[in-house]
Amino acid sequence: MFPEYDVIVAGAGHAGSEAAAAAANLGSKVLLITMNMQTIAQMSCNPAMGGIAKGQIVREIDALGGYSGIVSDKSMIQFRMLNKSKGPAMWSPRTQNDRMLFASTWRQMLEETPNVDFYQDTVKQIIVEEGVCKGVITGLGHHIASKSVVITSGTFLNGVIHIGEKQLGGGRISESAATGITEQLVSLGFESDRLKTGTPARIDGRSLDYSKMEKQDGDEEIVGFSFMDVDKPKADSQRECWITYTNQEVHDILKTGFDQSPMYQGRIQGVGPRYCPSIEDKINRFAERERHQLFVEPEGWNTVEIYVNGFSSSLPEEVQLAAMRKVPGFENCRMFRPGYAIEYDFFPPTQLTYTLETKLISNLFFAGQINGTTGYEEAACQGLMAGINAHQKAHGKEPFTLSRSEAYIGVLIDDLINKGTDEPYRMFTSRAEFRTLLRQDNADLRLTEKSYNIGLAKEDRYLKMVSKREQTERVKEILLQLPIEPIEVNMFLNEIGSSPITEKYRAAKLLLRPNIELADLITAVPKIKEALIEYSADALEQASIQLKYESYIEKEKELVDKMSQLENQIIPDSFDYNKVPALSNESRSKFLKIRPRTLGQASRISGVNPSDVQILLVYMGR
Amino acid sequence: MLQHIHDTIIAMATPPGVGAIGVLRLSGKDAIVIADKLFPHKDLTVAKTHTLHVGWLMHNGVPLDEVVVSIFKGPRSYTGENVVEISCHGSVFIQQKVMDACVELGARVAKPGEYTQRAFLNGKLDLTQAEAVADVIASNTEASHQASLNQMRGGFSSILKQLREELIKFSALIELELDFAMEDVEFADRTQLQNLLLTLHATTKQLIDSFRLGNVIKNGVEVAIIGKPNAGKSTLLNALLNENRAIVSDIAGTTRDTVEEVLNINGILFRLVDTAGIRQSDDAIESIGVEKSFEKMRQANLVIYLFDALTETREELADAIAMLQKDKKQFLLVANKMDTIYQPINEKMRRDDIIGISARNKEAIERLENAMVTAVTNGDVNTESTLVTNARHLSALNEVMKSLNDIQAGINNQIASDFIALDIRRCLHYLGEITGTITNEDQLDFIFSKFCIGK
């Protein structure tokens, strides 16, 4: 019934969809297996993409030719560039999305992608011959052969949902769990563990009183995620979000449910994320806080459904509702469905290589929550990388990897496979030691060429990037040369309270002043406007950032160079850690397990003492 | 893999020249055999481990020194190999002879840090202390290094560790502003950062300043005595040497082709540059002018300009000072033959920094010695205080200093906090080169333990 595929992707969430699209666009024949064709690329939790650090990831996915950026742009109902008051490395795009439009856009794009077949079924087992994955066996009993398999199981592996004292098997509320895979993989020698996450209640927007909340509008300029031209809503048509707060009364009611809480009564074993705590966790751990912020987010253009960001809870439904009704604006609220916690299996990601292939079974790839991450963006980028590498492996091609200094995606994968994770892993900008280089505005300059070289990014995307790169260089050149006389600019400088110049200045030098942006100079000085008239807004922005922040960018590049000294020290595959008596036992066992490729990687393995890395350095005959 | 792990190495285990005894250390499988060949008194090859043996060292029929030999058999030794420590008398000359004898019998002079390297490769060293290991790595790249290990003294790393923790805490607060800007978080108190910066700055500066003293204690300070013929240079030299008879020997320098004298004043080693030249210039070569003797001082850390209190004119002295200042050398002005004048010398020369002595009568030599010590230590001769002796640490500290200045400049210019964070990271990175790595998790752990984050 089925041909042999190059790549089978099990699961069609954010990771699975990106994996299928990437492999297919590279030329693989792909089968995407999902338990439910109606829930492809479902936003299981909040209806938003991007945000701080995550927005950068979506830009990177787009720069590499993934779909998440385009889908998010097409389905957005609000756009905001977060952290705009900080330096450009912190600027983070975020969209509020129409949940249903997001999923249907994804499905449509997948359907329009040649080489992607779909099948609604459950993967029960993988086929393994002599340590190589050769396909999957489904719940309906199909044996489907393939050269590579990507598993993106999300929260479905042995998922258990908790609401108060109720426990339901399931991967999302009202959807059944997936069983069989964990058991098989464990019998093959994999380690598995449990994690927990949660989601808040969904509310009927018609029952809310918005006059008691603070309004949060979208930006006046919609930038979006994609470097390509995508149809986006008009700025003035954006939907607004709202902010409100909990109070002591809310907290008191929530506390009445603690004796039925699955968390506090020990029914939940899995570890939840510290940075995305349930509301009960917040009031418990931070008892001194009098209130907590809640974001009230619409679920789409044409629905009254509301997502209450910040009110994730697994307390009994009636406690959730009673507490919520004490929140300003929520006095008469009606619930569509309660919040809940979910526990699921994951496989500690130290069992993976840089390509997200498992070390134990070759041609088997994991992506998304199965690797202990949380978040659509984190999942999607892993799916993209796993999809690419599943294709490369199926066709005997070189692995495709990104380093910590090239992309947030590189940081994420390097962290996962070397440090593992004890809680659902989310990206933060502080995880990236080179975040000044890893900006959302230059993701295309950083990554598109790499992707184009393996055949994923298409010609039009590549040419667009090249044009931006060339224009940027020319704009920089012009600004570095262009002399500005005091008379041309002093009036403007006076206006903004910047000290006037007394002699001729190069335009680029003016840009170095903290409160002067290129856009201001273009408006204020006709000569600059004239010189730059033919250049694209992207190039102007890029040139301006590169000039203005050059000293910081250079400092970071220096650190990259320093780091690369250790990165370039390759540890031979044959290196025998048992012959180094001086290593601590803990480090030795970590090295044996992870088998780092370089000393740089060795130094980032969690639990490895810096002195042990020094010993390796000496032993390798430095 | 390492080469030469099987040969036997030798080096001084104590700083050269200082103290009443000097310890030479042999390590390797032939260590005991080699020592035994020099020690006719007893058969060391059958001696038990961890025993001491007193006797004369003999080489080619010539007695070298009466010594104490300590035997440590591997693996119960510092390096894990057979180790012999020979405690000789504290003369550089004798130590060199013993070392030469051992080399003749098959030992190899150890490379810098090689003992420690062997110790940890044999699993002997406490490896939870990254410091010692890092020192070895550092000494691998330091050519000009004595064979004995330079350990940092005092609470150097613990001070830095504490500051680093404070800085991590602070950077965590900045990261909080950045990564969780959309949430209801409190912001980092800039005044607190200012105070922390001041403390860090002061500590770092103190440590950087201590490097010079640390280096002096480790390697000795080079001194040149210059002056016109008949100023009394050789008399002064002899006066100094007589006063400090603890260590007086002539050794042909291995790294330079001059002859040097070594003095120990208050535990600090002074090496007198080109003393042979001094002896000659005073006695014989009348024609050598002041310019000529200035050439001698090139390699010196400290220059003593010696002049005749009676005959030196103010103009001559001014010329000499100008020349010294041009070369940016630290110098002492010393007037000799004070017994020939009646006027106080500072009054005569209209300066207040001249040290008047009489070398012939050994008058005020101690004052000169104190001035020499003060010139090197800035008055701080307390060798127990925190010192930086390692060039790698110094360079890390210099980078720490640079990034501290950048942080300060960033705050002054009210630059966006992600850039301040970048400089803090650089600062942490270089502190980390001394105290161990800092992971991003350190910051996140702090954030999550202190703040209610997340929607």
- In the sheet with A76-82, reading across from the earlier edge strand, the strands are A48-50, A92-97, A76-82
Whether chain B has a CB inside 8 Å of the CB on A559: the answer is yes
**pLDDT computed for residue A293 by the predictor:** 92
Number of CB atoms found within 10 A of residue B321's CB: 15
- Condensed to tens digits (0 to 9), the pLDDT of residues B136-146 reads 333 332 322 22
- Condensed to tens digits (0 to 9), the pLDDT of residues A48-87 reads 999 999 999 999 999 999 999 999 999 999 999 999 988 9
Q: How large is the average pLDDT for residues B131-154?
A: 33
Nearby residues of A249 by Cβ (< 8 Å), 6 or more positions away: A326
Query: Are B316 and B227 a contacting pair, CB within 8 Å?
Result: no
**How close A269 comes to chain B (CA, Å)?**
20
**How close B166 comes to chain A (CA, Å)?**
17
Using DSSP's 3-state secondary structure scheme, residue A25 falls into helix
- Condensed to tens digits (0 to 9), the pLDDT of residues B319-378 reads 888 888 887 778 899 999 988 888 888 888 888 889 999 988 888 888 898 888 888 766
Q: Could you say which of A46, A436, A514 has the minimum Cβ distance to residue B413?
A: A514
Please provide the average confidence, as pLDDT, over all residues in chain A: 93
Cα separation, B72 vs B13, whole angstroms:
15
Per-residue confidence at B256, pLDDT binned at 50, 70, 90? very low
Cα separation, B408 vs B413, whole angstroms:
9
**How close B145 comes to chain A (CA, Å)?**
18
Query: Which of A246, A251, A430, A613 to mutate: most B Cβ within 10 Å?
Result: A430
Please provide the average confidence, as pLDDT, over all residues in chain B: 73
**DSSP code of residue A172:** B
Q: Could you say which of B2, B128, B130 has the minimum Cβ distance to residue A621?
A: B2
Tell if the CB–CB gap between B181 and A622 is shorter than 8 Å. no
Q: Is residue B384's pLDDT more than 60?
A: no
- The Cα angle at residue A399 between residues A393 and A404, in degrees rounded to 5: 145
Q: Could you say which of B179, B414, B436 has the minimum Cβ distance to residue A430?
A: B179
The chain B residue lying nearest A514, using CA atoms, is B415
**How close B177 comes to chain A (CA, Å)?**
10
**DSSP code of residue A333:** -
Give ranges for CATH 3.40.50.300 in chain B: 217-377
Q: Kindly state the tokens that stand for B301.
A: 């850390």
CA end-to-end span of chain B? 53
Tell if the CB–CB gap between A611 and B129 is shorter than 8 Å. yes
Tell if the CB–CB gap between A428 and B175 is shorter than 8 Å. yes
DSSP string, A564-587: HHHHT-BPPTT--GGG-TTS-HHH
Q: Which of B85, B215, B210 is nearest to B146 (CA)?
A: B215
Tell if the CB–CB gap between B455 and A309 is shorter than 8 Å. yes
Nearby residues of B209 by Cβ (< 8 Å), 6 or more positions away: B378
**pLDDT computed for residue B243 by the predictor:** 54
Tell if the CB–CB gap between A609 and B130 is shorter than 8 Å. yes
Whether chain B has a CB inside 8 Å of the CB on A497: the answer is no
Q: Read off φ and ψ for residue B283, nearest 5 degrees.
A: -80, -45
Q: How large is the average pLDDT for residues B394-414?
A: 87
Q: Could you say which of B122, B451, B455 has the minimum Cβ distance to residue A581?
A: B122
Whether chain B has a CB inside 8 Å of the CB on A622: the answer is yes
Class of domain B217-377: alpha beta
Residue in this structure with the two tokens 């999957």, named with its chain if needed: A136
The dihedral through the CA atoms of A489, A493, A498, A500 has a sign that is positive
Residue B305 one-letter amino acid: Y
Whether chain B has a CB inside 8 Å of the CB on A473: the answer is no
Query: What's the pTM value of the predicted model, to 2 decimals?
Result: 0.75
Q: Kindly state the tokens that stand for B146.
A: 């004595």
Kindly indicate whether the domain formed by A459-555 is annotated with CATH number 1.20.1090.10: no
The chain A residue lying nearest B117, using CA atoms, is A618
Give ranges for CATH 1.20.120.430 in chain B: 156-212+389-450
Which residues in chain A are contacts of B114 at CB distance < 8 A?
Answer: none
Q: Kindly state the tokens that stand for B181.
A: 């800007």
**pLDDT computed for residue B148 by the predictor:** 27
Q: Is residue B453's pLDDT more than 70?
A: no
Element of type H or E holding A102: helix A99-111
- Condensed to tens digits (0 to 9), the pLDDT of residues B183-215 reads 766 667 778 888 888 988 988 888 787 776 666
Q: Could you say which of B127, B437, B444 has the minimum Cβ distance to residue A582?
A: B127
Q: Is residue B444's pLDDT more than 60?
A: no
What are the angstrom distances between the C-alpha of A418 and each of A271, A602, A603, B171? 19, 8, 9, 24
Quickly name the fold that domain B9-141 has.
Gyrase A; domain 2 (3.30.1360)
Q: Kindly state the tokens that stand for A269.
A: 């074993």
Whether chain B has a CB inside 8 Å of the CB on A87: the answer is yes
Cα separation, A392 vs A32, whole angstroms:
18
Pairing of strands A166-169, A160-163: antiparallel
Q: Could you say which of B117, B440, B452 has the minimum Cβ distance to residue A430?
A: B440
**pLDDT computed for residue A251 by the predictor:** 96
Q: Is residue B281's pLDDT more than 70?
A: no
**How close B314 comes to chain A (CA, Å)?**
49
- Condensed to tens digits (0 to 9), the pLDDT of residues B282-313 reads 443 344 445 555 666 666 778 899 999 988 88
**How close B29 comes to chain A (CA, Å)?**
19
Cα separation, A255 vs A14, whole angstroms:
35
The chain A residue lying nearest B446, using CA atoms, is A274
| Ranges under pLDDT 70 in chain A | 609-611, 618, 621-622
Cα separation, B271 vs B264, whole angstroms:
9
The domain A198-341: what is its CATH number? Answer: 2.40.30.260
**How close A278 comes to chain B (CA, Å)?**
8
Quickly name the fold that domain B156-212+389-450 has.
Four Helix Bundle (Hemerythrin (Met), subunit A) (1.20.120)
**How close A431 comes to chain B (CA, Å)?**
6
DSSP string, B277-319: HHHHHHHT-TT--HHHHHHHGGG-SEEEEEEETTT--HHHHHH
The chain B residue lying nearest A586, using CA atoms, is B128
What residues 582-601 of chain A have any CB closer than 8 A to a CB of chain B? 582-584
Tell me if B230 is assigned to a ligand binding site: yes
Query: Which of B414, B422, B428 to mutate: most A Cβ within 10 Å?
Result: B422
- The size of the A-B interface in CB pairs under 8 A is 143
Intrachain domains A198-341 and A459-555 with the same fold: no
**DSSP code of residue A188:** T
Q: Read off φ and ψ for residue A117, nearest 5 degrees.
A: -100, 155
Tell me if B455 is assigned to a ligand binding site: yes
Q: Which of A203, A396, A204, A216 is nearest to A295 (CA)?
A: A216
Q: Could you give the percent of chain B with pLDDT greater than 90?
A: 13
Which residues in chain A are contacts of B117 at CB distance < 8 A?
Answer: 618
**How close B206 comes to chain A (CA, Å)?**
26
Residue A422 one-letter amino acid: D
Q: Kindly state the tokens that stand for B305.
A: 């300009």
**pLDDT computed for residue A268 by the predictor:** 85
**pLDDT computed for residue B227 by the predictor:** 82
Tell if the CB–CB gap between B136 and A618 is shorter than 8 Å. yes
Which residues in chain A are contacts of B175 at CB distance < 8 A?
Answer: 428-430
> Which residue ranges make up each domain of chain A?
198-341, 459-555, 568-619
Tell if the CB–CB gap between A86 and B417 is shorter than 8 Å. yes
Kindly indicate whether the domain formed by A568-619 is annotated with CATH number 2.40.50.100: no
CA end-to-end span of chain A? 58
Query: Which of B178, B429, B453 to mutate: most A Cβ within 10 Å?
Result: B178
Residue in this structure with the two tokens 């790249």, named with its chain if needed: B141
Nearby residues of A421 by Cβ (< 8 Å), 6 or more positions away: A348, A349, A372, A373, A415
Pairing of strands B268-272, B221-226: parallel
HSE, CB side, 13 Å, CA atoms: give it for residue B434.
31
Q: How large is the average pLDDT for residues B253-275?
A: 60
Tell if the CB–CB gap between A619 and B1 is shorter than 8 Å. yes
Which residues in chain B are contacts of A310 at CB distance < 8 A?
Answer: 454-455
Using DSSP's 3-state secondary structure scheme, residue B23 falls into strand
**DSSP code of residue A359:** S
**pLDDT computed for residue A271 by the predictor:** 81
Which residues in chain A are contacts of B448 at CB distance < 8 A?
Answer: 274-275
Q: Which of A155, A66, A157, A56 is nearest to A412 (CA)?
A: A56
